[in-house]
Amino acid sequence: MDVLRRELQEIFHRQPFDTTRLSGQDVEKCRYIIKAFTDVSQGCAILTDIAVGNSYSSIGRLANKLGLHQNTALEELTDVDEDFIYERIHPEDLVDKRMLEVKFFEQVEHLPSEERLKYHATCRIRMRDDVGNYVYVSNLTRIQSNSTDGYMRLVVCTYELSPEQEPIHGINPHIINMETGQSVTPFLYEERFDILTRREKEILGLIRQGMLSKEIASTLHISIFTVNKHRQNILEKLSVDNSMEAVQTALAMKLI
């Protein structure tokens, strides 16, 4: 389950990389940076090369508490996204985290290449531990390296058990300039409900009632083609495989 994947991919695809100029040395350097991080923090780090869609994970000992198994090597992932982590994040926090990342990448995308390296996005999210209870985890996302063309390329996302375990409302999101200390706090709670359009929510509600596309089309006085187009958009936005999963996901995230 990975909401807003399409929105993030659209941002990444706007980076017109010259693949003939991509350096593998930058990737290797950053892979060992995330390994060094997890050696110290014992948490989890993901390195994503958005130019080619590869990701690498490094998981420390304390990440076992989050149900993530320690790896001694720098494991290459089969997908650009950290689905094995996302499935452990509280559904409400997952959508807010992804919204924060969309805002972060949109903000730094048009900055001068060296300037964007000064920013990172932070939040505190709930993740299920190894016995199924939710604990608070500190999450940070940043651009680790640009391409030689000056585009965003290598992204690092880290997860550590938070020293603060007191309940909070929301994920406490911040986009911070690490040089100046200036911090922006995006307001995500209200925007979460705009992930699905009014019509998409309406159709999802009718699907929840057990209606088929033909019945939904008749009820809403629209074509079956339009209903099916909305259904496809819902599946893509919520990153699920079928309508029943979409209903369950939307309910868990309190989108409907």
| Model confidence pLDDT, tens digit, residues 172-201 | 999 999 999 999 998 776 677 778 899 999
User: Identity (one letter) of the amino acid at 209?
Assistant: Q
Rounded Cα distance, 241 and 67, in Å: 24
| Model confidence pLDDT, tens digit, residues 98-147 | 999 999 999 999 999 999 999 999 999 999 988 889 999 999 999 999 99
Question: If you average pLDDT over every residue of the chain, what do you get?
Answer: 88
User: Helix 5-13 crosses helix 91-109 at what angle (to 10 degrees)?
Assistant: 20
Banded model confidence at residue 79, pLDDT cuts 50, 70, 90: low
User: What local confidence, expressed as pLDDT, does residue 183 receive?
Assistant: 93
Banded model confidence at residue 207, pLDDT cuts 50, 70, 90: very high
User: What local confidence, expressed as pLDDT, does residue 176 receive?
Assistant: 97
Q: What angle do CA 148, 24, 112 make, to 5 degrees?
A: 25
User: What local confidence, expressed as pLDDT, does residue 52 receive?
Assistant: 86
Q: Is the pLDDT of residue 5 over 80?
A: no
For residue 118, with 0-12 CB atoms within 10 Å meaning exposed, 13-18 middle and 19 or more buried, which class applies? Answer: middle
Question: pLDDT: is 213 or 87 the higher one?
Answer: 213
Of the given ranges (2-16, 102-116, 134-148, 213-227), which has the lowest mean pLDDT? 2-16
